[in-house]
Amino acid sequence: MEKKNYTGPIERLDATRWRIPKSYKQGMNVDGLIYADDKLIQAITQDRSPEQVANVATLPGIVKYSLAMPDIHWGYGFCIGGVAATDPSKGGVISPGGVGYDINCGVRLLRTNITLNDAKPRMRRLVDTLFNTVPCGVGRGGKVKFDKKELRRLMTEGSPYVVNKGHGWDSDVDVTEAKGKIHTARPDLVSERALERGASQCGTLGSGNHFMEVQVVEKIDDARAAQAMGLEEGYVTVMIHSGSRGLGYQVCDDALKALKDTPRKYGIDLPDRQLVCAPIESKEGKHYLGAMAAAANFAWCNRQIMTQLARQAFADVFEQPAERLGMTLVYDVAHNIAKMEDYDVDGKSASLCIHRKGATRAFPPGHAELPDRYKGIGQPVLVPGDMGRSSYVLVGQPGAMEHTFGSCCHGAGRRMSRGAAIRASKGRSIHQELLDRGVIAKARGRTGLEEEQPDAYKDVLQVVDVLHNAGISRRVAKLRPLGVIKG
């Protein structure tokens, strides 16, 4: 589909919000609402992603509004950066396009006791060791293999299963979103083809925008929250970004094919066939939700195994056990997922299906689902930037529950397609440009660095500031990249 500029109506509500009125398009049940500042909204309207926000507003049972975070860009069905809540008691639907192909693509952050001064002389060796320890690249298999019986158990039990097998520490589970397990997972609904694709990929990084990055805490904005997370200026952190690999892709692909005639069956009229969906309470809806949850559990296991591989690499390079290096997990968040959560709607509590497509959960202080250590500060929100600029740690604020169904941005957001980024790299050495910025980068693929060059992304600080100023989340720490591995 052509990605020309959005030309529909868009009305400014305040300093951080823009509205697409439901009168814009026939069938819209709610308004569209985009979080952005003046500069970002200009970039956002350069493609048709706001049109996707309007399209999502036509879904049956959608509540309040169709949302987009400031890192919004064009996606499959839903924009990336899209959030939508649907109410099953009002015919609400589940749409695979609202989750995406990479089910539970997400990010986790580890802190360490290693200072920047200690890390600098070993950084190249550390990047090389991580590259050789953590499998990365298109279709690349891992060192940890599971047979189909083990895979089904892994997808049922989530990350506690692999931790119990020695791939992590018990403390990791407590600071993983949903404790690394959606209880409604149905591995029996995952196809044989998906199982085949996932058999050797648990514990692998993959390709595209997935990465493992060594960083340094450059600035603390919220000392109390940073202390609760174990973050301190001048100390090294590790960020891991990956998802459910080929298994999750196959689950999504299977669902899109299975659901192609479902809207007609239930009398649902859609403006875009990529929004194919099923009522949450239908047989078809429950089938997708069960398989999607199984893939999400696989993704948590994937990141958990890579966490332990990273600890092994650090232990080898710094010649000390990971425990002594203080490599504890700060938090793990999902970016592409749909989950049932409770919210107040018109003064009444309702259980809603929250689609987050390139968006992060951002629960505020006191929320029942938070581990005890974060109840006083709010949920850590991990927002990666790009290889040449910083990433940010935030915490969820009460405004998220009131305005965004407990959701926040998930990254900087692309402003160039991968093809455009490669073309813009012609005649340049992205590797050298990153070195000039103090970042050692290593990629498996021939165009990995070119596709993911910093110019391909918006400035993550602008994205983060919109939600900070809107009271959705609050800045805690700035993390500067030192070394990165990619597929």
Give the catalytic positions in this structure: 410
Q: How many angstroms separate the CA atoms of 216 and 234, rounded?
A: 6
The token pair at 82 is 């899209």
Collapsed DSSP state (helix, strand, coil) of residue 308: helix
Calpha distance 252→194 (Å, rounded): 10
Distance CA 225, CA 363 (A): 14
Cα distance between residue 351 and residue 458, in whole Å: 34
**CB within 8 Å of 131: residues ≥ 6 apart:** 442, 444, 485
| CB proximity list for 11: less than 8 A, separation 6 or greater | 18, 19, 20, 21
Closest CA to 235 of 213, 217, 222, 212: 217
Return d(Cα 371, Cα 380) in angstroms, integer.
Answer: 11
